[in-house]
A and B are shown apart, each in its own frame.
Chain A
Amino acid sequence: MNPKTVLPGIGRWVAIALIASFLVTAGGPWAASGEVALLNVSYDPTRELYQDYNAAFAKYWKEKTGQTVTVRQSHGGSGKQARSVIDGLEADVVTLALAYDVDAIAENARLFPRNWQTRLADNSCPYTSTLVFLVRKGNPKNIKDWGDLARAGISVVTPNPKTSGAARWNYLAAWGWALKNNGNDEARARAFVAAIYKNVPVLDSGARGATTTFIERGIGDVLINWENEVLLAARELGVGKFEMVVPSSTILAEPPVALVDRFADKHGTKAVAQAYLDYLYSPAGQEIAAKHYYRPRDPKVLAQYASQFPKVTLFTIDEMFGGWQKAQKTHFADGGIFDQLYQPGR
């Protein structure tokens, strides 16, 4: 035996066996697989949408590639979900309520480029929605427009803007309506929104929670929520018990989607995750969105489902507030206007 050999003969083979058996026993990234899993971190009310969408996409992907894809869902208030991803929840894709929350992930966690919104059509928003009211059958409190929400004796249900994307849209919709109807007077808009929040007895963390509070717990006279949530409640969850009220004007909500590059690369799911988002823009994906009361971008599908959506006058966050960055900083950051005017404890 050559004393200069680094390993004795048997030792060399043992070392090779050691490494080989480790690879085989422990598996590891070299293990081939016909199955892949994605995690879609989404906002609160999209459960039913993605349940149907995921099944459709899995069927499509199987037929196209032969690979079985399983999509796990996580739902919650949009802001809360964004923070979870920043803190390490390994989403392959995010489908959140507003661009600011997706920007926060790009900015704080650097999980995908800051120009993420340009990577898909329509600013990475495959469907839109808006914010309307749900009232009890017969509209006993005669609520017709935003101004009625500030009346004394009206109880308003809306989620917490600190955690919920819908809540921030609600707040900005109310503020925007007040500006339009008071000659862009910020002070009067502030007083108006303060009066609304004085009428809010409970702040849920997300849109679905607010729906639960209003419909199942029987709290409040009016629920401000996503158009898709209100249509779902009025037409399916509480048929005959509730009515939708469309205000004179409200805000255009554009919930965006994004590929989380760093986690998708780590999981080896980038191709299927990208295809998952692309499929949202396909006719099949747009039709699923429409069936769940989200306004599709595809003009043909939108025309086909036009009758189910009320006619609304919409303003945008850009025209009324200068965009999400500015709106977030002014209204929803710690110490912002919401923190100043919300008075809990009714």
Chain B
Amino acid sequence: MLLRNRFTRFLVSAAAGLTVFVAGAAGSPPLRAEEAAADSKAADEKIDEVDQRVRILERKAELKAEADAEGQKTAGLVGAGKDGFFLKSADGSFILKIRGYLQTDGRAFSSDQVKPVVDTFLIRRARPIVEVTVGKIFDFRIMTDFGEGKTVLQDAYMDARFSPKASLRTGKFKAPVGLERLQSATDNFFVERALPTNLVPNRDIGLELWGGFVDGAISYAVGVFNGVADGGSADADINSTKEVAARVFVLPFKKSGGWAQGLGFGVAGSAGDNDGTLSTPGLSSYKTTGQQTFFSFLNDGKAPGTVLANGSHKRLAPQAYLFVGRFGLLAEWVRSTQKVILGTNRDEIAAKSWQATATFLLTSDKASVKGVGPKHPFDATPRGPGAIELVARAGALSVDEDAFPLFANPTASAQSAREVGAGVNWYLTRNVKFMLDGVRTRFGGGAATGDREDERVLFSRVQISF
């Protein structure tokens, strides 16, 4: 600017000087030279005035940019995306996220001649989720469920994330034991979880320390909980004894790349004392994939005929998965032992279960334990097919023979269940998924004569999640 002004000033002065020279050469009187000098001075002043105006405009623009930048620092953000809707403060210290998911299912039973089961559509899960972060490191999550006509508080917990290696969680949340149980219901490969989920805790209330090392290649969780029956959730304890649960999971090749990058394995377990009463026996029933009870302890509501939990309750759950390209494999084995009492009879009853699930994507997408985000989301054109995944599963659950006939009725409760299933999942987008799978379960025992009738179920699901 200054250079331009000096050059401009030079031009004007030169022009004025030339005018004076020409006038003088032409023999003009001295008065015209004074006028030219005055004109030159006026021109200088005008240039100065224009220069100041330009500087002022530039400075105002500069100050506005500074104010806008300052405003950006304190302005909050409002946004929406595949992970829901959010409000966020400029510095990220305060975040509110609104998320949720809806699953509308269909179940159709075939070959249910002996014990007909109603084929039905149902709202399996309708879960609004609110997640809040305050002060950067404190998180709060609440998730209710209105599925199947019930209102249940599923999650209500707070995390204090002091460091990636150590965070503290307190409230009601999934106990760290079952692999498929810990997988979000939106990411399961089949409409219903496999048989081992019967033996692991669902949601429990307690205090947990969790974290990871080596950028999450090693993760751990250890907590103290009220303790729940197998497969159960609870909002209060039924006795004063508590349960400890812990899990360690390793992804040894997470950082090194290659086909084994998606290999993970670990072990989880729980130990505690569980004591039931007539009104709350503290014991579970085991259900098929079709959500039909195939095993339960004796319970007629009266003391001589009701089995109660009576002491030590332990679980062991080794687990693993491998996701490589379009292929995925997930497996777990669970053993649960519970001391029981019926009248004067005491025993320790064990139940074991395993499952292995394989997935394969027909489209060129990446398999993952956290669901599939299609590379080409569905847009009703051949270019946007979404992601199509084939799934297959096998598993089994067996109960100690010692449970029969003292603690369980062999004509009503099966001693074992074995299932096989196959299906297809269509991920239209990261948020919308169709599922169709069929599962056949065979039983050992559980009928007046011979084995309980096989269960054959066709499941369907339409899911939206955000």
Contact = CB atoms under 8 A, between A and B. Distances in A.
A209 interface: yes
Interface string B53-64: 001101110010
B327 to A, nearest CB: 37
Interface in A6-27: 6-8, 10-11, 14-15, 18, 21-22, 25-27
Contact of A11 (B63, B66, B211, B243): B243
Given A11-B272, A22-B166, A22-B168, A201 B244 contact: no
A204 B60 CA distance: 9
B242 A28 contact: no
A1 interface: yes
Contacts of A201: 52, 56
Given A18-B222, A26-B162, A28-B162, A6 B59 contact: no
Interface residues on A, range: 20 to 34
B280 interface: no
A28 B163 CA distance: 11
B166 A14 contact: no
Contacts of B67: 205
Nearest to A155: B52
A219 interface: yes
A7 B271 contact: no
Contacts of B311: 1, 3
A202 interface: yes
A64 interface: no
Interface residues of B, number: 34
B273 A10 contact: no
B59 A21 contact: no
B209 interface: yes
B224 A3 contact: no
A311 interface: no
B56 A8 contact: no
A154 B165 CA distance: 64
Given A11-B224, A202-B63, A25 B241 contact: no
Contacts of A202: 56, 59-60, 63
Nearest to B222: A18
Contacts of B52: 155, 201, 219
B223 interface: yes
B340 interface: no
A26 B271 contact: no
Contacts, number: 85
Nearest to B166: A25
Contacts of B229: none
A7 B168 contact: no
B243 A22 contact: no
By DSSP majority rule, is chain B's interface helix, strand, loop, or mixed? strand
B389 interface: no
B284 interface: no
A75 to B, nearest CB: 13
A8 B222 CA distance: 15
A5 B244 contact: no
B367 interface: no
Interface in B190-243: 207, 209, 211, 222-224, 240-243
Contact of B63 (A1, A209, A346): A209
A54 interface: no
B268 interface: no
Interface centre among A8, A15, A27, by most B CB within 10 Å?
A8
A138 interface: no
Nearest to A27: B162
Contacts of B209: 18, 21-22
Contacts of B58: 217
B275 interface: yes
A322 to B, nearest CB: 33
Given A202-B63, A218-B55, A3 B166 contact: no
Nearest 7 CB-CB pairings of A with B: A26-B162, A25-B166, A11-B244, A201-B56, A26-B166, A14-B244, A219-B55
Given A11-B272, A18-B207, A205-B63, 13 more contacts: A3-B311, A4-B240, A4-B241, A6-B240, A6-B241, A7-B224, A8-B244, A15-B244, A22-B209, A26-B168, A28-B162, A204-B63, A346-B56
26 contacts: A1-B312, A3-B241, A3-B310, A5-B241, A5-B273, A6-B240, A7-B241, A7-B242, A8-B244, A11-B224, A11-B271, A14-B246, A15-B224, A18-B223, A21-B209, A22-B209, A25-B165, A25-B166, A26-B166, A27-B163, A201-B56, A202-B56, A205-B66, A209-B63, A219-B52, A346-B56
Interface of B: 2, 52, 55-56, 58-60, 63, 66-67, 162-163, 165-166, 168, 207, 209, 211, 222-224, 240-244, 246, 271-273, 275, 310-312
